[in-house]
Amino acid sequence: MIARMATTRAPLPRFPHGFLWGVSTSAHQIEGSADERGPSVWDAFTALPGNVKDGTTAAVACDHVRRYREDVALIRDLGVGAYRFSVSWPRVLPEGTGEVSERGLDFYDRLVDELCAAGVRPVPTLFHWDTPLAVEEGGGWLKRDTAHHFAEYAAVVAARIGDRVPKWITLNEPAEHTLLGHALGQHAPGRQLLFDALPAAHHQLLAHGLAVTALRAAGADDIGIANSHGPTWPASDAAEDREAADLYDVLLNRMFSDPLITGRYPEVITELLGAEVPDLDADLKLIGQPIDWYGLNFYQPTKVGAPRPDATVTEFSGLALPPGLPFSPRKIEGHPTTDFGWPVIPEALTELLLTFRERYGDRLPPLVITENGCSYEGVDDEERIDYLDGHLRALHRALEAGVDVRGYFVWSLLDNFEWAEGHRQRFGLVHVDYATQRRTPKASYDWLRTELRAQ
């Protein structure tokens, strides 16, 4: 630890007894040891010049496969009760199907054992965007077969570590994987299909449903999903802005929550999928089968207006949106921003949680905040402390209002490979020197540890 100047803040309010505190990571972003697994879509994507802003890859990343004991010790010393990590599909099944890599499964065996010995609950996510390259070359998430391949993979993982894993997550953020990876091409696999990417969303949700069935068959009884959500604010009260905001909200929020919670897509999604799904009702029964809790990843709200006919390219959160879309995201003014340029608006988290309760009522499962965090440079990261403090207070206000939230996971434990940003954005509670792999807990790590001890 390093000496730091103290900043006076009021202690966090008390959270309910049994509230689950955790930290999150994902396999491709931290594991490294790329030569010990099959290739993924991200390996192919980062190999092409220009796809990653700083030209780096995740071949080494945080070298977590070799340093997992050190990282588990950091989690234990932080004082959280759970660690949300993802399992690399190509590390377990190098071709996505067929022959299982015992070496890959052995790593997760060791990781889970280390977590259990440290008194930390393992919470694996089965898919965090690293589709095996062989599966992608066979059509990827645009093909229905991929959902069935995923269920087979889920069964393999559950058979190995299910005896020690009480809590499971099927997918992480299918909305972003669809939008950025299949509609806009700014993430792997780099497809630019716009609305023709919708089958990729449906097949991911189908994969979730099939994986739930596989996990139940293996004895799991605490299963959820991690979906990203945020309030959508119309740019004005004008009818055209409200209509555009409603469509955006359907595509980025309700398309992924409605079928899981209500068993139905919004009407516009059913129309857009059309003949792409031969038996939609049967699929929706699988997708909408009961889950034990629903995970929300929250970072920011979005302001949306009608499309601007004179705009050739719209810039939004670092993304270049093509012309011709039926909506136009707008910059939210008057709030501080992270190093990623995202507005910091904690009260939007309270709004989101209240909206979910109002929208879904008694059908809403218990909620868990499966990701919340921010990118800031530096080890003395007072901005990150302010961010986490504000969002935890916003979460507590939703609890006081009666929303059933059972846990909160910080993104992220470590600075890591931040997808198309490479190593430029730092979300970690722990600083990683990528040249030496030295870990240095930040001020935010110390602050959170102190607050958790007081809970």
Residues known to be catalytic: 173, 371
Q: ∠ CA 19-230-124 to the nearest 5 degrees?
A: 45
Residue 177 is labelled as binding a ligand: no
Structure tokens at 69: 């004991």
Buried b / exposed e along 54-76 (16+ C-beta atoms within 10 A):
eebbbebbbbbbebbeebbebbb
Residue with tokens 């739930």: 212
Q: Are 189 and 241 in contact (CB under 8 A)?
A: no
Residue 172 is labelled as binding a ligand: yes
Q: How many CB atoms lie within 10 A of CB 440?
A: 14
Residue 418 is labelled as binding a ligand: yes
Residue 128 is labelled as binding a ligand: yes
Residue 445 is labelled as binding a ligand: no
Q: Are 283 and 208 in contact (CB under 8 A)?
A: no
Q: 409 pairs with which residues across the strands?
A: 22
Q: Are 313 and 323 in contact (CB under 8 A)?
A: yes
Binding-site positions for substrate read: 29, 128, 172, 299, 411, 418-419
